[in-house]
Amino acid sequence: MTAYVIRRLLQAALVLFVMSLLVFFGVYLIGDPVEIFVAADADQVERARAIAALGLDKPIWEQYTSFVQGALGGDFGRSFVFGLPAVTLILQRLPATLELAFAAVFLTVVIGLPLGLWAGLRPDGFAGRTILAGSILGFSLPTFWVGIMLILVFAVQLGWLPSNGRGPVAEFLGIKSSLFTVDGWRHLILPAINLALLNIALMIRLVRAGVREVLPLDYIRFARAKGLSWGRIVGVHVMKNIMLPVVTVLGLELGAVIAFAVVTESIFNWPGMGKLIIDSIQRLDRPVVVAYLMVTVAIVIFINLVVDVVYSLLDPRIRLKDLDH
Amino acid sequence: MSAAIVDDEAPWRRMVSAYAESWLAMFGLVLLVICLGLALAAPLISPQNPYALAQLDIMDGSLPPGSEASAGFRFWLGSDDQGRDMVSAILYGLRISVAVGAAATGIALAVGLAFGLIAAYAGGRIDGAIMRIVDIQLSFPAILIALILIAVLGNGIGKIVFALVTVQWAYYARTVRASAMVERRKDYVEAARGLGLSSARILFRHMLPNCLAPVIVIATVQMAHAIALEATLSFLGLGLPVTEPSLGLLIANGFQYVLSGKYWISMFPGVALLVTIVAINLVGDRLREVLNPRGPQ
C-alpha cells in the first residue's frame, strides 16, 4: 500500500515536472509582453528597463530554473497586469471556484441520483424513458449556451435571479463563503445549475446502468424472497453495490468541474480563477497563466490520486497492482 | 461467388435493420443528414453571403425574426448588430463547426488507431509507454488540456484542430488497443504470420478491420465532443479567429445583446449547435447498441 502511494506520488511529480516544462516553454514562445507594457514611443532605455523589470533579459533556461525554484516555494512570479504575486491572485479566487464546484457536485448528487434510480428501476415506463431522453439532451447541450439561455430566461425575461457576479460573503466557522447569505444563494443558483447539468446527465446514465446491472442478480431475488420491503432492497442492497462507481466518478468529476468552471465563470462573471485565466490568456499575463495551469494540474493530480487510493480501500476485490499495471 | 457475397452482406444488413428498429435513432440520422447537407450547401442556399460586407446594410442591424431586409428578403431568424442575416450566418457557421469537428475527429482517429495498434502488436515496453501516456492524459479534463495547448500555441484554425486531436487521440488508442489485444491471439493472425506477411500488412490489412466496430462508436461520440469543445473555446475567445466565425463565435457575439432582450442573435446559433450535437449523439447511441450486443451501457 505504502509502496503504491509512493509510486503514485513519484509519478505525479514527474507529470507535474513535464507539465511545468511544457507550460513554461510553451507560454514563453507566445507573444511578447514587453510590447504591451511599454508605450509605443518608448526609447531603448525605457524598453531595456521594462525588460529587466520583468526578468526577460536573462537566458531562458535561467528564467526556467528561477521559475522552478520559485514554484517549489509557491512563488510563480508577479502578474504583469496586477503587480501582485500570481499565486496570491489564484488563491484569492480559488474559494469562489471551489464554492461553485462543490455546489455543482451537490446538485449532481441530489438531482442525478434519484432520477437515475427511477430510470433504472422503471426503464420502460414513461418517466424512465423521459429521464433517459433528458440525459441524452443534457449530454448534448453546450454548457456555455445553456448559461446564456438561463440568463435570458431567469434574469432578463423573468427577472427572478441576478445574472452577474457573486453575492456578499459572510464568515461562518472561520470559512468565508457566499453560501451563508441569502443574496449569495441567489447569485449561486444559476451558475451552479449550469455547471452541474452535464454531470447530472452523466450521473443519471451511470446510476441507471448500475441499477439495471444489479437488479437481475441473485442476491436481490433472495432479498425479495426473504420478504424485505422494496424500499429496503433499493435503499440498502442496490445502493450499496452501485455506490462504488458513483463515488469514483463523482471524485473524478470534481476535477473536471473545477476545470470546466472557466466557461461558467466567464458567462456569469463569477470572480473565480477560471475567469482570471481567460482574461490572463488574452492579456498575455504569463505568470498568472502558468500559475493557474500548474495549480489546476496539481489539484487534478491530487484528486485522481485520492480517488484511486479510496477506491482500492473501498473495494477489496481491486488489488492495487491491477490499477497500476 | 454469390454465396460469398451474401455472407459478406448479411451482418451489414442485420445491423442496418437493427438500427432502423429505433425510430428515435432514425430521426437522429435524418436530422444529421439534414445538418450535414445544410453545412455542405451553405453558400448555395444562404439568402446572403454574411461575410461579403458590401451585402450588409447597417440600417438592417438587430432586427427581430421575421423582419424584412432592405435587400427584399426576410430575416426569418432576425439579424445581428451589423445587419447580417442570422439564417445565412448560422449556415456558414455550421459549415465551419462541422468542418473543424470532422477534421479533428478524422486526424485523431488516424493517430489513435496507429498508436493503439502499435501498442497492442508490439507489446512490452512500447505498449507500456504508450498506454502510460494515454492513462495520464485521460486523467485530465479535456478542457484543461485544450486550455494548456491554446495558452501555449495561441489560436487559429490549425491550432484548434491540433488541440482537439491532442485531446481525443487517446480515446481511440485505448479502445483500439483493447480490441487488438483480443484479435492478436486469434488464429487468422497466426496464419498471416505463418504466411510470412509483414507486420504492417498484418496490422493494417488484417487486424484493423476487425477492430473497427467500437472505434466507429467512439468516433461518433467524439465528433459531437469535438464540435462542442471547439464552440466552447471559440465562445471563450480562445478558438477560431473572427474571420472564421463558427457557431460558438456567433453565440459569443450575441451574448452581449442578450441582456437587452435581443435573444435571437445568440439563441438560434445555439439551437443549430444543439440540434447537430443531439443528432450525432442519437446516432452514436444507437450504433453503440447495435455494434455492441453485450448489453446496455
Give me the CATH number covering residue A187.
Answer: 1.10.3720.10
Q: In this structure, is residue A73 part of a structural domain?
A: no
With H, G, I as helix, E, B as strand and everything else as coil, classify residue B68: strand
Q: Looking at the domain assignment, is residue A43 inside a domain?
A: no
In this structure, of A12-26, A309-323, B13-27, B179-193, the range with the lowest mean pLDDT score is A309-323
For the stretch B147-159, pLDDT in tens is 888 877 777 888 8
What pLDDT does A325 receive? 44
pLDDT in tens, A193-225: 999 998 999 899 889 888 888 888 888 888 888
Judged by a CB distance cut-off of 8 A, whether residue B144 touches chain A is yes
A323 pLDDT tier (thresholds 50, 70, 90) = very low
Question: Residue A26 has which C-alpha cell?
Answer: 510553451
Q: What are phi and psi of A177, to 5 degrees?
A: -155, 150
Can you tell me the distance from the alpha carbon of B213 to that of B289, in angstroms, rounded to the nearest whole number? 11
Best residue in A22, A28, A140, A211 for a mutation probing chain B (most B CBs within 10 Å): A140
Model ipTM value: 0.79
Average pLDDT over residues A76-88: 81
Which tens digits make up the pLDDT trace of A182-193? 777 778 888 999
Q: Which of B224, B246, B244 is nearest to B235 (CA)?
A: B246
Is A274 part of any domain?
Answer: yes
pLDDT computed for residue A174 by the predictor: 64
> What mean pLDDT do residues B20-28 have?
84
A146 domain residue, yes or no: yes
Is the confidence at residue B29, as pLDDT, over 80?
yes
Beta strands in chain B (DSSP E): 67-68, 74-75
Task: Say yes or no to pLDDT of B128 above 90.
Answer: no
| Residue A39 resides in a domain | no
Closest partner residue to B259 among A11, A156, A289, by Cβ?
Answer: A156
| Contact residues, chain A, for B224 at CB < 8 Å | 140
- What pLDDT is stored for residue A37 in this prediction? 64
**Which chain A positions have a beta carbon within 8 Å of B282's beta carbon?**
136
- Work out how many domains chain A is built from and give that number: 1
**Helix (H/G/I), strand (E/B), else coil: B75:** strand
Contact status of A273 with chain B (Cβ, < 8 Å):
no
Q: Compute the Cα dihedral for A119, A122, A124, A127 and give only its sign.
A: negative
CB pairs below 8 Å between A and B: how many? 128
- What is the DSSP secondary-structure string of A23-52? HHHHHHHS--HHHHHS-TT--HHHHHHHHH
As a whole number, mean pLDDT of residues B46-69 equals 74
Task: Please check whether residue A80 is in contact with residue A33, taking contact to mean a CB–CB distance below 8 angstroms.
Answer: yes
Q: Do B152 and A145 touch (CB under 8 A)?
A: no
| Cα Rg of chain B, angstroms | 23
The pLDDT, as a whole number, for residue B2 is 46
- Chain A partners within 8 Å of B258 (Cβ): 148, 151-152, 156
Q: Is residue A129 part of a domain?
A: yes
Instruction: Report the percentage of chain A scoring pLDDT > 70.
Output: 87
Helix (H) or strand (E) holding B55: none
Scanning chain A, the segments in alpha helix (DSSP H) are 2-29, 33-37, 44-54, 60-72, 86-107, 113-121, 126-140, 143-150, 182-214, 218-225, 230-232, 239-268, 273-283, 286-314, 320-323
Residue A19 lies in a domain: no
Chain B residues with beta carbon closer than 8 angstroms to that of A165: none
- Tell me, yes or no, whether A3 lies in a domain: no
Enclosing domain of residue A185: 86-324
